[in-house]
Structures are given as C-alpha cells and as structure tokens.
Structure 1
C-alpha cells in the first residue's frame, strides 16, 4: 500500500528538517544506503578479492581442523 500525498509531504518535511538540523546524520545514512545498495566504491573494487580471501581462509581452517582430527584418531588408535 502506497503513501498518500499528505504522508509523502510530511516525510519530505521531516527529511528537510533533518538535513537542516543534523547534516552529519544525513551523511551517515547516505553512506549506509550506498553500502546496502552495492554502490560503495570500496566494495565494488575489492568485493571479489575479499570474498576469495575469506573463502581461502575458511578452507584453510577447515583443512587444519581435518588434519587435527586425523592426528587425534591416529593417536587414539595407535595407543
């Protein structure tokens, strides 16, 4: 259900008052909106690298865990 014209005007007045009274808050909200919409420059530039880095570390941790489990099993079975 959409907003009525009156509701849109009230929201616009609130937005203008916030822009006037607290410009820092407006900048923070705009930055959050850019990040959420995928428009963040850092995310666009390094997003794939960060995902690959994280994936590599997850596999490294998984592999190390698997080695520890195998070594523990060998220690239990050989005693």
Structure 2
C-alpha cells in the first residue's frame, strides 16, 4: 500500500533547487533520473534514450556472440592439433 503525501511549498522549492543543481553539475545523471521518473510515472523511454539503449544492447549482444564463436573456434582448433 502506497500512501501519497503532497509536498509543502517550501519542500517543492527545495526539491526544485536540488534538481537545478544536479542539472548544472551532472547533466547526464539528471537526464537519467528524469528518464527513470518518466517510466515510473507510467510513460515510456523518450525516443533518444531508447535509440541509445538499443544500440548499446545490440553492441553487447554482438560482442558476446563474437566471443562465443571465437571460443568455440579456438576449442575446435585445440582438439584438432592435439
């Protein structure tokens, strides 16, 4: 059970100041936090973030498949040469 409580004006102002400081200090982290908040509020990843995530996943999948194929090839060559 989640109980939602609204923030006071002072708390909202403090939160806004923290958000602004984060955006100035670390824009990449601020962008990631905004994406997480967006998803948790029922939205989906923004297109730009989704495209970057898709490239990241494909790159890692191809790297893993390439390493697996290379390992199998090296094991096969080891068996043939022994």
- Return the TM-score normalized by structure 2: 0.50
Which segments of 5 or more consecutive residues in structure 2 lack a partner in the other structure? 6-36
Moved over 6 A (4+): none
Corresponding residue of 2:42: 33
Which segments of 5 or more consecutive residues in structure 1 lack a partner in the other structure? 1-17
User: SS state of the match for residue 42, structure 2?
Assistant: helix
CA RMSD of aligned residues (A): 2.8
Deviation at residue 56 of structure 1 after TM alignment = 0.5
Greater helix fraction, Structure 1 or Structure 2: 1
- Return the TM-score normalized by structure 1: 0.51
**Residue 22 in 1 paired to residue 3 in 2?**
yes
Bigger Rg over Cα: 1
Deviation at residue 23 of structure 1 after TM alignment = 1.2
Corresponding residue of 2:71: 68
